[in-house]
Chain A
Amino acid sequence: MSDDPIADLIQSCANGDRAAFRVLYRDASAKLMGVLLRILSERPEAEDALQELYTRIWLRATKYDPAKGRGMTWLIALARNLAIDRLRSRPPRTSDDGLDMVVDAAPLAETRLIAKGEARRLNECFNQLEPERAEAVRGAYLAGLSYAELAEQYAVPLNTMRTWLRRSLLKLRECLEQ
């Protein structure tokens, strides 16, 4: 047993423990549903994705390495990848298709929410970026916005957005390594 109960459950799943799989559903599904719903926006698709996600969790549990990260971080990475892959393979959306709704209001609330615990340092580093770029990175991470969507949102050319965010991300890395 470790101080990471989710990691323990994933490892039990890797050993074929179906009871652990049920506990993992009980304990992690609400958070993972929140991730899927935030990115996919639509509940029926998020529910379908949750089924697929748990199927993947069971099948890939042997690949989880607790030395490389916390259990919940691994689960959320799987959830985000699944949701973003689904999002990207949707037909292209029209410009007034609710994009504005996705980004407004959220960043401030999120800044407050993550200003605690181990997230504090990350937040400090985000604060060192230009506010617009920090907000764009957060929006992309949390809601699954692509370069193309952000470029449209902030009314800048795609390549400008790409350059801004690549540099912002490397700056973030530098700040976190200090």
Chain B
Amino acid sequence: MKDAPMTPEDADDAEAAEYVVGLQDQAERAATAARIQKDPGFAARVVAWETRLQGLNDAYAGAPAPTLLPAIEARLFPTPARNKGRGGLWQWLAGAGVAAVLVLVAMATLMPPGSGPALPGSDLVAVLATEDARLAFGVRQAGDELAVTRIAGPPAVAGRVHEVWLIAPDAAPVSLGLVVDGPLTVTYPRPPEGWTLAVSIEPEGGSTYGTPTGPVILSAVIGQTL
């Protein structure tokens, strides 16, 4: 093959292929992941590569999976009215480097005016705010949807994003997603009292490890006022 420079289109396609094959290092991968979120045309190239290369998936031999379903269901479909020890949880939060944090939990009736858009039939699960309330996130439940909205303060600085985490007692944090411009909405059952919501600062595209990598700037235990 000749060494002519690639057309911009080929360069985009090569980047999409590199992402799908998994050749990039962590920083390149994070940059491409961020691009997929922002650029639907590029995201389509990625899907096209996933389809092109799907024949390789036949080479993955199956391996018996352990019975993890109960643990997964406990994470996803919590049964309320349980308040186990939170030692592990607080250890995690401390380990993740909690900055000055005020936990502020309000029920719908205590909701201050302007705590985010009131979705019809939604109720407030928690407010996560700094002590001076300069930065605050409201978490609301409407049916099966959990919505997280930044209700005060600026977005994260350029190149960084706010990532929202849910932590069941004694369990690892689960990312709910990123709050970038608009509210974050995920299909999720109402988390029970005693679970923790947290916000961390992550590189663009979010934490790539499934646990917070940046500082946890806000957290709140649902149903608990400190």
Contacts and interface: CB of A to CB of B under 8 A. Distances in A.
Given A147-B24, A165-B23, A89 B209 contact: yes
Interface of B: 1, 6, 10, 13-14, 17-18, 20-26, 29, 47, 50-66, 68-69, 71-73, 75-77, 144, 172, 174, 176, 186-188, 208-210, 213
A55 interface: yes
Interface of A: 14, 16, 18, 21-22, 25, 29-35, 37-38, 47-52, 54-55, 58-59, 61-62, 68-70, 72-74, 76-77, 80, 82, 84-86, 88-89, 109-110, 113-114, 116-123, 137-138, 140-142, 144-148, 150, 162, 165-167, 169-173, 176
Contacts of B213: 89
A147 B65 contact: no
B174 A55 contact: yes
A18 B22 contact: no
Contacts of A73: 50-51, 54, 57
Given A29-B65, A171-B1, A51 B54 contact: no
A117 to B, nearest CB: 7
A37 B10 CA distance: 33
A15 B133 CA distance: 37
Contacts of B17: 166, 169-170, 173
A142 to B, nearest CB: 6
Contacts of A88: 24-26, 29, 208
Contact of B69 (A25, A85, A138): A25
Nearest to A167: B1
B54 A140 contact: no
B68 A142 contact: no
Nearest to A18: B77
A77 B50 CA distance: 7
B176 to A, nearest CB: 8
Q: Say what secondary structure dominates the interface of chain A.
A: helix
B62 A52 contact: no
Contact of A114 (B23, B51, B56): B56
B63 A30 contact: yes
Given A33-B63, A33-B64, A88-B25, A122 B186 contact: no
A47 B47 contact: no
B144 A47 contact: no
A31 B58 contact: no
A55 B75 contact: yes
B68 A113 contact: no
A121 to B, nearest CB: 8
Contacts of B18: 165-166, 169
Contacts of B72: 25, 51, 54-55
22 contacts: A16-B144, A30-B62, A30-B64, A31-B62, A34-B60, A47-B68, A52-B172, A55-B75, A80-B22, A84-B22, A88-B208, A110-B56, A114-B58, A116-B58, A123-B55, A138-B59, A141-B21, A145-B23, A165-B21, A166-B17, A171-B1, A172-B52
